Chain A
Amino acid sequence: MAKSKLLVVGGGLAGLMTTMKAAEMGTEVELFSLVPVKRSHSVCAQGGMNGAVNTKGEGDSPWIHFDDTVYGGDFLANQPPVKAMCEAAPGIIHLLDRMGVMFNRTPEGLLDFRRFGGTMHHRTAFAGATTGQQLLYALDEQVRKWEVEGLVTKFEGWEFLGLVIDEDGVCKGIKAQNLSTHEIRAFRGDAVVMATGGPGIIFGKSTNSMINTGSAASIVYQQGAKYGNGEMIQIHPTAIPGDDKLRLMSESARGEGGRIWTYKDGKPWYFLEEKYPAYGNLVPRDVATREIFDVCINQKLGINGENVVYLDLSHKDPHELDVKLGGIIEIYQKFVGDDPHKVPMKIFPAVHYSMGGLWVDYEQQTSIPGCFAAGECDYSQHGGNRLGANSLLSAIYGGTVAGPNAVKYIKGLDKHVEDLPSKMYDEAVREEQAKWDEVLKMDSGNENAYLLHKELGEIMTKNVTVVRYNKDLQHTLDKLAEFKERWNNININDTAKWSNQGVQFTRQLRNMFALANVITKGALLRNESRGAHYKPDFPERDDENFLKTTIAKFTPSFEPEITYEAVDCSMIKPRKRDYTGGAH
């Protein structure tokens, strides 16, 4: 019998951790990534990673972390995997420390921790303000070691085109295309782990990297996988408005004492501190975002009449700022030109993270057998809102679960892919080649893919972010149907058969439409307000009708079929989420 093989799609934190775990168990791994894995979007995470290591004498514990996370997510997450994640967190932090992550230290040389939103504890380990980068590099290095040892083969610069699914509906590999040569190949895999990140680019400008189109997860969804809680999109309260993207200003800025304010009646008004005396500037993101949005849009109290408020660090010690927040201070200086040591930063909310994603069971397996998912592309950990510094944790934790479970799944198979006939794979390549050739022929229309994408982003940002109205959501769905038609009229402007980025983008754009439908339809049908999902017409949480996971199934019209699934709340009984008082 041939050796078993695992395919991992995506080389961010989740994909690399999956790869490392599987390689450690002796499984051969082929790792696919659009970009060299070291350039994955995980590098953009800034503030840190949560784990209740409790080194500050605060009596923190994994259970409190668990409670904060579930409460912060407005009880929409199934609790058992969240609890498992919070219990694993301290161990994961120590593991990464052993790998050489340059976490900030205390004077005694121990790991330092800072505060983040939605908790009263110092629970966030951090490496300056480029924690995601540092964690990604550590895992990248470990995977490189496995590469040298021959267990891992990287396919960097390859785009995922779809799963290869056999006649029993079981995943047996993937189809992928080289981004330079455009060669299309089918890869055999006993199991596949999708670790393909979030879909922020659907909203045009966001805090996300350019590869975060959600295209890969969308393809798997279009191939029949269930997609959970798509409507739960996190809008980060503090980003720098920009021409090409909205650059994140980490929550750690507030964790280290940054204050949000604007002018009211000619005087500074610290509106978060005023309304939420206990949590102050460290209320969860959905809460902070709605407040800033309200101050700017409804009360028209933005700075100089623009849609920005101040995030102020200028009262802090400059050296301490450099040591603890250097990365983001530099970003602000380089991209805006002002010095946050001296003047407050101007910020506004921006699309940041998708709590929703591919549905997975407690072993991180999607509804397609043999296909697993981990990281932002799975829906499992954050419910209706993600707490800051939980994303690095969930990405890495997802990998530590998906990797070993995929290997376990492979061990249980009675036949390995190398023994399967090649017909299924040849067929898969032919099918994708035909699709590609079709797109390459799109040179007579009058739509520009990038401009169409801009329209998509604008309408999604306008109607499906901070405040949602059913009328606008329905309108958005209609527009999405129109976009799908207009897509056929795209002119790719470039028929080159070598490194043709326009054609790749055109193909991704269609996949974005599919997910945009999931997000919008899910939002339309959820007539309540929970976590990041806020409808002024339904301002309260409605546990009776909507303490349920939204499940989207693909239909060829692109408008998904929505069903609901009960949420496992067996450990912590849902209670009202309210940050205006003290500890919850």
Chain B
Amino acid sequence: MAKEQEFYWRRLHSLLGLIPIGLFLTVHLFINFSATKGAETFNKFSEGMESLPFLGIIEWVVIYIPLLFHAIYGVYIAFTAKPNLNRFGTTRNWFFVLQRFTGIFLVIFIAWHIWQTRLQKTIADATIDYNLMSDVVTSTGMLIFYIVGIIAATFHLSNGLWSFLVSWGITQSPKSQKVVTWITMIIFVLLSVVGVMAILAFRG
């Protein structure tokens, strides 16, 4: 990747994190939330998604390609940083480190998650439904892994939204950035509640 083009790659990275990945994550969590209404409701939503026309193309364009780019370039970004929390223990410096830490963790988590769900459909012709997820989270270890994964994802998205607004020059003044910090943290809490309630719903 040419260093001179770095600006555009970074902007793309920031944008893709929000659209479509962030949007997809939100939709995904809300669909999962339907599991709290029982297995059937969830299966209905799930089937609805599966029946979208051109699903394969949509999956690649909206999810896999953006996600792969965001992940690979994100890992590169994370590893060019040299965290210094010991010198500056401010909220923003913590968030800076957490953003990178959650990013790395999410690469592992999402790879595992896709392997456990979507790829099972391709490889083993499994049906993606309530039962599949229910089997996954019967083990407490796996449940914890998923909860951590969900919270990492919601934090990464919420704080990513904050960064997006700064990186694109939408929030400039210290006050606007502070206000948006609060707003994005509220989003983080709400999304986390939705996500965690959903995963707990698969435990029946």
A and B touch in the complex (CB under 8 A): no
Interface of A toward B, CB cutoff 8 Å:
none
Interface of B toward A, CB cutoff 8 Å:
none
